[in-house]
Structure 1
């Protein structure tokens, strides 16, 4: 099922992801003046935080509308950054151009994970670092998505969701990823209110709703039940999602095959 990430109003969900973006940026240990790529920048959560820290930021995303949101947010804060349309498998820069690459819940949706890992390793300089945030394939949202797309064509599980998968992606480059785990809360007044918001604004939920057609009311009811089963609150709605942060440091002497 194809998802247009410029559809709807993804910035509503992106606001819930700010904490994770800042966590990834802190682990990147960026120094003022460094050139940093935010790959799959979305609405600019990581890109703006990097710019606030003095980095020279290039924000790349395949959705033009989300790039416009990033530009507008940067202008509102008086921050300088470069926004460019593109995807994770083909960034229009020379080899070894960036000091760091960050990708916060973005490259996990790329159709070719190996190609994306290869491209990140290509554009980062020796001595640089790559950081990727990726969801763990379990919990409330994982289960809800299984209901949402039941009976629909689904991509193979993302290798970004497990340590073994991540190790496999970077094995060709002779580097050893360091993977840590963190968590992020999502809250709303009620389960139903949260699902109502998602089906009204989130690109992938809008795509699913269109695909399910007249079956949507039954699908929605099943999704509500799934979220309710994971609800951590007795008076509202709260679920906690686990995610991985992968940090790769590129050997100054150059890595293995592919570089």
Structure 2
């Protein structure tokens, strides 16, 4: 479905992505794992042509990606990267019109989506006045309004409480069950363990793991730690700070 091949985007400070290659097959739920600054967001922005790559190619259904293909895809952004002064209804309409959906179809979809996400009473509320969980649901409604074939989520559960995280991951799993292809970027490995069937790990701008993932027999954290290593704090400094009370 989507193939990223030898993609480069290096910034002046040396950060960025370097020779990134991986595929997202139709029907996959891909975990795109990496620490903050590893290159996840740069990869996504390059896919959606928000930034221009230095070299490499991106294909959709075996041809170089075009504007019409981007209309089949959706990017679920960080909550801070949306027009917060818009009302929920206005935001959904804005996204729908941006993707060429008729106003009548947007309205029908909006009613269904707000009801599905249990935020029917928030349609006239401004995005900036919503809680973190409500804001995520509003973004989800706008993301689904034009029924994309592929959705890329960037840290979708960031800043959510446990209940809201579980609810959101359940929605994502249900979308996948409906045949929607999904990639989720996250540094919260445990959340992706039970729902992913393909694993891509990026570190310092380079893909270091790219393979099918069996969430019943494999653990993302074990693969991650084997490849990158586990960061161990200096416990002696804690002893020193508290006057070595553990030995008293």
**Greater fraction of residues in helix:** 1
Structure of greater relative contact order (alpha carbons < 8 Å, 6+ residues apart) = 2
When normalised by structure 1's length, the TM-score is: 0.29
| TM-score in terms of structure 2 length | 0.30
Larger Rg: 2
